Amino acid sequence: MTIKCSVFIATSLDGFIARPNGDLDWLTGGSEAEESEDYGYKEFIDSVDTLVMGRNTYELALTFEEWPYSNKQVVVLSSGSPAIPTQLAKSVAVVAQPPTALVQQLAAKGARHLYIDGGKTIQGFLRAGLIDEMTITSIPILIGEGIPLFGALERDIKLQHLATRAYASGFVQSKYSVVINTALEEAAQMPKKRV
């Protein structure tokens, strides 16, 4: 399966991707220079063919003035039935599958680079060992509480630092690849001995 799963996300300096209610107001309201800089987003999104996100992230994107993912296939992970506007019916699908099965299905359909977005979705893909790269932009603000980027893990996940760039705005962007530890993976696959 030749498919890549990437994360491209901003966090507050204390590690939150949104306020407890999902609000992103702390991300906006910067200077004109801040707003004109795309922090590598266009290059990244141009490399992606499919987005995978949770229902909350999808419903937040629906509130934007323009749908931000035109010309991209979007998969919404949800056990419910979120509304899909008529104009998005051909590009948005709702599924209730575990990450591994979904990635296999998308790979079989020809997807090559998945953009994984939303806190719970990113955490689920990380726990399943499916994330290949993460680009995380730290915003110089503390919001105290909110939705964390990372959650509980069954094991450590080692990252390899690829690059860091500091911007005049104070934003600091770091890119990591996820190190696949074959010894750990093999141990996880071995049947446990009964005592």
- Domains of the chain by range and CATH? 4-176 (3.40.430.10)
Q: Is the dihedral angle over the CA atoms 3, 9, 14, 15 positive or is it negative?
A: negative
Q: Of all helices (H) and strands (E), which one includes residue 59?
A: helix 55-62
Q: What is the DSSP letter of 26?
A: G
- Maximum alpha-carbon separation in the chain: 64
pLDDT at position 36 is 72
Confidence check: pLDDT of 184 > 50: no
Which amino acid appears at position 53 of this protein?
A: M
pLDDT digit string, tens, across residues 83-135? 999 999 999 999 999 999 999 999 999 999 999 999 999 999 999 999 999 99
Kindly report the pTM of this predicted structure. Answer: 0.86
pLDDT at position 70 is 86
pLDDT digit string, tens, across residues 37-66? 889 999 999 999 999 999 999 999 999 889
pLDDT at position 181 is 54
pLDDT at position 193 is 46
Q: How far is CA 52 from CA 25, 29, 58, 118, 137, in A?
A: 23, 27, 9, 9, 19
pLDDT at position 183 is 42
Say if CB 176 and CB 159 are below 8 A apart. Answer: yes
Mean pLDDT value of segment 3-29? 91
- Helix, strand, or coil (residue 104): helix
What is the rounded distance in angstroms from the CA atom of residue 74 to the CA atom of residue 44? 16
String of DSSP letters for 150-174? ----SS---EEEEEEEE-TTS-EEE
Which amino acid appears at position 131 of this protein?
A: I
Say if CB 28 and CB 21 are below 8 A apart. Answer: no
- Helix, strand, or coil (residue 56): helix
pLDDT at position 37 is 81
Confidence check: pLDDT of 162 > 90: yes
Average per-residue pLDDT for the chain = 88
